Amino acid sequence: APTPAEEDITRGVDWLTKFGYLPPPDPVTGQLQTQEELTKAITAMQRFGGLEATGVLDEATLELMKTPRCSLPDLTTEETRRKR
């Protein structure tokens, strides 16, 4: 699969954070999510969205992220924590 552009990754991380798949960066250390966390978050998002769970920010995933939607997150903090 082609490697996603840096811009897509940034947008994807923002999206995944906004809708509850990724915890926000640590406000004290500023530490970002690890690649493993990101892959898990993408996988969860793909499963929730009815896509093939590849863990990769592929075209279909980016397309779904552009689909109009409700502002509320898909996963609760508890679920996010459990997935971590």
Enumerate binding residues for another protein (CB under 8 A). Answer: 19-20, 47-50, 64, 66-78, 80
Q: Residue 29 or 71: which CB sits closer to another protein?
A: 71
Sequence-distant (6+) residues with CB within 8 A of 47 are 53
- b/e code 5-17 from CB counts within 10 Å (16+ = b): eeebeebbbebbb
- From the CB of 78, what's the least distance to another protein, in Å? 8
Q: Residue 2 or 68: which CB sits closer to another protein?
A: 68
Q: Residue 39 or 73: which CB sits closer to another protein?
A: 73
Q: How far apart are CA 6 and CA 46, in angstroms?
A: 20
- From the CB of 13, what's the least distance to another protein, in Å? 16
**For residue 40, which of 56, 52, 17, 51 has the smallest C-alpha distance?**
56
- From the CB of 73, what's the least distance to another protein, in Å? 5
